[in-house]
Structures are given as C-alpha cells and as structure tokens.
Amino acid sequence: MAQVITITSGKGGVGKTTTTANLATSLAMQGQRVVAIDADIGLRNLDVVMGLENRIVYDLVDVVEGRCRTRQALIKDKRFPDNLFLLPAAQTRDKDAVTPDDMIALCNELRREFDFILIDSPAGIEGGFKNAIAPADHILIVTTPEMSAVRDADRIVGLVEAYEKSNPKLIINRIKARMVARGDMMDTPDVVEILAIDLIGIVPDDESIVVSTNRGEVAVLDRDSMAGKAYNNIANRLLGHDIPFLVLDEKQGLWAQLVSMFRTRR
C-alpha cells in the first residue's frame, strides 16, 4: 500500500516542483515504485522538470472526467521504466475540474500498485491546494529561508492543521551558506523555531539545479550535485532511515556530516 505524500508551500516558486521531481526519482532509484502527480493545474511543469513534456497524451483532468483509464495517462520515465511514472496536470485553467474527492478516489486506485504517490501541489493560497492535500498521508512543506516565505509557510501549517492533517514536515530549500555565515540569511534553527514543525531536509541553493532542470534531468542523478545529495537524504528519511543532516561549510567548500538532528517539540 502506497504512502501519499503531498509537497506544498505557502509562497510560489520556492521549489515544490523541483523537490517532487527529485524525491520521486531518488525513491525510484532505490527500487521503490513511484508515481508523481502534478496537481498544479494550469501551471503544470513537473513534466518539464522531469523531462517528460513531449510524451503527454492524457492528463489528470482526462482521468478524473473518465476520458481515459488511469493507466493510459501515466507516463513512464525512460530512466526507470518499471517504477517511475508521471501523471501530468491539465493545462486548462479550470481549477474546479477536479475535486478533493476525485483526488482521494484516484489515489486509492493507485495505492495498490505503488509504494509512493507524490503530489506536486499548488502554493497554499491558490485554488487546488485542497485537492492536493485531501488524499495525503504525509505533507512536506517547502520554504526558502526568507522571512516572507517563512511567514507564508506558517500560514500553510495552520491551514494543514485546519484540514486535520497532522505533523507536516519541513524542507528548507535554497540555503545560501555564505549568506547565512554573514548573518544575511535566516539560519535553519531560526526557521524551525518559527514554524515549530519537524525538519526533514535542508537543501542548498545550487546552480546545478538550474542546469539539470533545463536539460530535463534531475539533480539526484548527478553525483556531484550538492542539492541532489540533499534530496537523496530526504528520500532516505522518507524510507525510514535515520540520516544526519548535512551542513554546508563555506570555508571548506564541502558538506560535512552534522551530528545533531534538529527537532522541535510535538
């Protein structure tokens, strides 16, 4: 039985799609059967990030409205043809085409065949957010270490609680170690302190993300990518492994293992 994990955020553009693509690929690399669903209707781009854009025939709305069978709409990832699939979003701007109940029914159908169902959500203030979190067993909230993004993330944690989903986990993306060292960027403990939820990953700001995204590749497939390494660690934590957090040491220019885990109460 699959776990349904929804990746969401308060602010847009903080890295939800990047996170979804990398976690899905990383889990597939480890032999898990994974389907990534793009629930960001009207702003679809998970297909682009995964390099599957030109293989789309059917989309999420086609499935929900019964124009095709679920199987037909799933796009195989050529690198992991047996165990990584994408269900793309519709490009139509009609956000009401899908309801939370549709998403729950769809996920229940997919649960039997997969180990992980990852849902790329729209930002929390947008319509469609409800659809994305309705079927979720677990919720990952992505933020960058900027005050405005953290403030919006705080709002989303509140919304998630209001929808009676418990224990969302936090991913802090695009950390610039040099800026943190200078005191110009919020540090991880600052963000965790405000949001008061468990941290599941920290991802550095990494130029290789831009390069890989443009090529339709994902960072976790690039051995030299620091962000890829960070995403692999998060995937391992999702698999239940106890992986220490990385810490970026700008002076040495490499990542060292951090001994302590950041944990918050409750």
Partner 1 sequence: MRDMEERITLKGSRDGLRLILHPTAAWEEVLEALRKQLAQGSSFYHGAKLLIDVGERSITDVELQAILAIMAEHDIEPAALITIAPTNRTTGRQAGVETRHPDSLRSTPPPVVQGEGLFLWRTVRSGQAIKHQGHVVVVGDVNAGAEISAHGSIIIWGRLRGSVHAGVGGNQQAIVCALELSPTLLRIADNLARTPDNHRPTGPEQASLDGDNIVVVPWDAPRR
Ligand X SMILES: Nc1ncnc2c1ncn2[C@@H]1O[C@H](COP(=O)(O)OP(=O)(O)O)[C@@H](O)[C@H]1O
Residues at the annotated binding site for ATP? 11-18
CA neighbours closer than 13 Å in the CB half-sphere of residue 196: 7
Q: What are phi and psi of 38, to 5 degrees?
A: -90, 105
- 182-211 residues in contact with ligand X (CB under 6 A) are 203, 205-206, 209-210
Residue closer to ligand X (CB basis): 33 or 172: 172
Question: Contact letters (x/-) for partner 1, 185-204, by CB under 8 A?
Answer: ---------x-x--------
User: Longest C-alpha distance within the chain, in Å?
Assistant: 56
User: By C-alpha distance, which of 130, 115, 196, 127 is closest to 165?
Assistant: 130
Q: Using CB under 5 A, which of 9, 17, 32, 83 touches Mg ion?
A: 17
20 binds Mg ion (CB under 5 A): no
Segment contacting partner 1 (CB under 8 A): 19-27, 28-36, 130-138, 156-164?
Answer: 156-164
Q: What are the residue ranges of helices labelled H in 31-141?
A: 46-49, 60-64, 70-73, 100-111, 129-133
Q: In the complex, what is the shortest distance from the CB of residue 52 to partner 1, in angstroms, rounded to a whole number?
A: 35
| Residues near 260 by beta carbon (within 8 Å), at least 6 away in sequence | 244, 245
Binding site for partner 1 (CB under 8 A): 151-152, 154-155, 157-159, 161, 194, 196
Binding site for ligand X (CB under 6 A): 9, 12-18, 173-174, 203, 205-206, 209-210, 213, 227
